[in-house]
Amino acid sequence: MQKFLGSYFLTWDEEMFDEETGEGPLVNTSDLNEELGQVEYVFTDKTGTLTENNMEFIECCIEGHIYIPHVICNGQILHDSAGIDMIDSSPGGSGKDREELFFRALCLCHTVQVKEDDTVDGEKKGQLSGKPSIYISSSPDEVALVEGIQRLGYTYLRLKDNFMEILNRENDIERFELLEVLSFDSVRRRMSVIVKSAKGEIFLFCKGADSSIFPRVKEGKIEQIRSRVERNAVEGLRTLCVAYKKFTYEEYEIVEKQLQEAKLALQDREKKLAEAYEQIEHGLILLGATAVEDRLQEKAADTIDALQKAGIKVWVLTGDKMETAAAACYACKLFRRNTQILELTTKKIEEQNLHDVLFELSKTVLKHNGSLTRDIYSGLSAEMQDYGLIIDGAALSLIMKPREDGSSGNYREIFLEICRNCSAVLCCRMAPLQKAQIVKLIKWSKEHPITLAIGDGANDVSMILEAHVGIGIIGKEGRQAARNSDYAIPKFKHLKKMLLIHGHFYYVRISELVQYFFYKNVCFIFPQFLYQFFCGFSQQPLYDTAYLTLYNISFTSLPILLYSLMEQHVSSETLKRNPILYRDVAKNAHLRWHVFIYWTFLGVFDAVVFFFGAYFLFDNSTMTSNGQMFGNWTFGTLVFTVLVFTVTLKLALDTHH
């Protein structure tokens, strides 16, 4: 009852209502309220959780040339294709062809839908009036790319009768037949489309992460584009690479047959499709790369700073490129200027073997922090070096992969030891299942810490379900995360109040309720135990049957219920100003043995006072006004009355609010 009613205080909190989205917090379960006050690790997604998931197209790089939709030249803003800054000399004839191929690739390689407007004579009113089209997609990146390319002169119009239509710079409509879509997935980190032009040419256009595209490219200005991608990533921009491949009719027939067989397979269909995609998406020609900006959410940095002051370790788990994710971590204050970054990445492992890298990192952190593991509640002293760890998905796979001698556990323990001594951890290039794997690794470590996972998309569901407490962000990527979570909030900034205030109060209230129930029942039962020594062990009850029945149901239940719903031992403003107070209730501080023993002895002491106080009061055979002597019922009623008043008074004295 207390948990169920207490959960409403979270949903009624007006400060956690977001006017921009019109959403408030949701509680999908009330069983975990007190866990919010015991969180030791927070695992958070980046895109859409720490960031706004509101993508803005910044630039694209084609064959080493940089195209920017809006640039300032001589104090004037240049729009559309006029806004171009070249790294190399102007493109020649072949460069012009590659430029047009790149724009066509971005106009065709996506799953964007155009919002239908009213039509006049088969033509959309929006197009006739020159108004920009409204694009809809499950991926904000795709919308940003299509809108960005529109500002550079190429407009995606519609998908109609399996034909994709685009408007080029000459205002001519080009039609491409959509033959196949090789859908994006988090393992491949890319998507492709196979289209047929009006001239009968068949193209495969592919876009995806640089780590996924570069190994499959056979030609193109790879180094120039790679350099630009890395530069944009360091600036915190989200990057994608674009490549293409041209098929002959004979080659396409083979590809079509290969895909058809995989789609019709009755067993291992997903595996066969993945194998077919792998064979098709190779030997590509690199066209260029794009850069999209995703700004940090309001107060994301303040929230992370408060969580760290509260003694909570924050890990960022993302599928983004390492440089992009690292820039975001610096922006949101996960990493600070004095943080020494330790890298456990594929590039580092290629230079040294995994064993040497792990032991080198372990030696580094233990050299400054001592052989004992850093306690997350001890804070960061001036003498203790602040470390941040960056690990990618490939390196994690090597750590988790069992070795031939079956001793993979040793690598895991070393990895965990490194993580325990780091103030923050960034896991980049993570697949959804790897996110859950990381959460599970920490969750089942020897300390058994309470973990919390927070994300906004379907790719975060696995880690949300794996953590002790799962929180979904009601974001732009649908409600999969919110529906599969224990709690849902509109923005990441609301996590601060949810943990540091609501979580703190929930834990204090439930712990007081549990201890008080022990106390009042010891007070109730122990006089009955003492009474047996005075009634010849006849099992005669001390209390009337009505008292036995109603003591917990009625006489003492309502005060503690109200206390456990309303009590605030400190004000909300104090908790908000001092995140360090969260440490006072951490690690189950109010339900330790010494607290339990205190309440038990207090209950025994009060019970002895109740019983023997009434016993000695009746020692001289006191009589009533009608000459009758006080009997067993009167004695029990007196003990019970004093008992109820005392336990209620104890609760009143402990009440602060």
Q: Nearest to residue 472, comparing CAs of 462, 484, 482?
A: 482
pLDDT of 42 above 60: yes
Helix count (H) and strand count (E) of the chain?
24, 26
**Do residues 32 and 68 share a domain?**
no
CB distance 526 to 519 below 8 Å: no
SS3 384: coil
pLDDT of 70 above 70: no
Distance CA 347, CA 391 (A): 11
String of DSSP letters for 479-507: SHHHHTSSEEESSTTHHHHIIIIIIHHHH
Structure tokens of 88? 């190399």
pLDDT in tens, 450-479: 999 999 988 899 999 999 999 999 877 778
Predicted local distance difference test score (pLDDT) of residue 365: 83
Distance CA 125, CA 275 (A): 44
**Do residues 176 and 139 share a domain?**
yes
- Look-up of token digits 């103030």: 423
Instruction: Report yes or no on 374 lying in a domain.
Output: no
Q: What is the CATH number of the domain that holds 485?
A: 3.40.50.1000
Taking phi first (over 0 means left), then psi (-120 to 50 degrees means alpha), and beta for anything else, what does residue 404 get?
alpha
Structure tokens of 578? 């001092």
- Look-up of token digits 């003591």: 551
Instruction: Report yes or no on 122 lying in a domain.
Output: no
Distance CA 590, CA 506 (A): 12
pLDDT in tens, 496-506: 999 999 999 99
pLDDT of 239 above 60: yes
Looking at the chain, the whole-number percentage of residues with pLDDT higher than 90 is 41
**Do residues 231 and 108 share a domain?**
yes
CB distance 459 to 52 below 8 Å: no
pLDDT of 492 above 50: yes
Distance CA 220, CA 283 (A): 11
Domain around 594: 501-654
**Do residues 108 and 227 share a domain?**
yes
Q: What is the CATH number of the domain that holds 257?
A: 3.40.1110.10
CB distance 488 to 498 below 8 Å: no
Q: Which of the given ranges, 36-40, 115-119, 260-264, has the highest pLDDT on average?
A: 36-40
**Do residues 40 and 76 share a domain?**
no
Computed over every residue of the chain, the mean pLDDT equals 85
pLDDT bucket at 384, cuts 50 / 70 / 90: low
Last residue of a domain, one of 255, 274, 294: 294
Specify binding-site residues for ATP. 45-47, 142, 184, 207, 238, 318-320, 429, 435, 459-460
Instruction: Report yes or no on 169 lying in a domain.
Output: yes
- Write the CA distances from 335 to 1, 247, 327, 331, 386, integer angstroms: 42, 47, 9, 8, 9
pLDDT in tens, 562-598: 999 988 889 999 999 999 999 999 888 888 899 999 9
pLDDT of 315 above 80: yes
Distance CA 544, CA 286 (A): 88
pLDDT of 80 above 80: no
Last residue of a domain, one of 261, 294, 327: 294
Q: Nearest to residue 441, comparing CAs of 453, 456, 429?
A: 453
Last residue of a domain, one of 248, 273, 294: 294
**Do residues 365 and 418 share a domain?**
yes
- Look-up of token digits 């948990």: 3
Q: Nearest to residue 416, comparing CAs of 345, 346, 368, 344?
A: 344
Q: Nearest to residue 452, comparing CAs of 332, 577, 307?
A: 307
**Do residues 437 and 463 share a domain?**
yes
**Do residues 226 and 323 share a domain?**
no
Distance CA 107, CA 147 (A): 9
Instruction: Report yes or no on 378 lying in a domain.
Output: no
Structure tokens of 528? 């009955």
Predicted local distance difference test score (pLDDT) of residue 626: 61
Q: Nearest to residue 345, comparing CAs of 313, 321, 374?
A: 321
Distance CA 130, CA 146 (A): 17
**Do residues 533 and 429 share a domain?**
no
**Do residues 310 and 417 share a domain?**
yes
pLDDT of 379 above 50: no
Instruction: Report yes or no on 12 lying in a domain.
Output: no
Lowest mean pLDDT among 27-31, 114-118, 147-151, 528-532: 114-118
3-state secondary structure 227-288: HHHHHHHHCCCEEEEEEEEEECHHHHHHHHHHHHHHHCCCCCHHHHHHHHHHHHCCCEEEEE
pLDDT of 295 above 80: yes
Residue type, 503: G
Average pLDDT score over residue span 191-212? 92
Distance CA 234, CA 224 (A): 16
- Look-up of token digits 């939709």: 69
Distance CA 533, CA 529 (A): 8
Average pLDDT score over residue span 365-390? 61
**Do residues 452 and 530 share a domain?**
no
Predicted local distance difference test score (pLDDT) of residue 371: 46
Active site positions, annotated: 45
CB distance 464 to 472 below 8 Å: yes
Radius of gyration of the chain (CA): 33
CB distance 585 to 508 below 8 Å: yes
pLDDT of 82 above 50: no
Distance CA 505, CA 511 (A): 10
**Do residues 289 and 316 share a domain?**
no
Q: Residue 465: CB partners within 8 Å, gap ≥ 6?
A: 436, 484
Taking phi first (over 0 means left), then psi (-120 to 50 degrees means alpha), and beta for anything else, what does residue 381 get?
beta
**What total number of domains does the chain contain?**
3
pLDDT in tens, 119-134: 444 554 444 444 557 8
Instruction: Report yes or no on 13 lying in a domain.
Output: no
Q: Which of the given ranges, 224-233, 351-360, 381-390, has the highest pLDDT on average?
A: 224-233
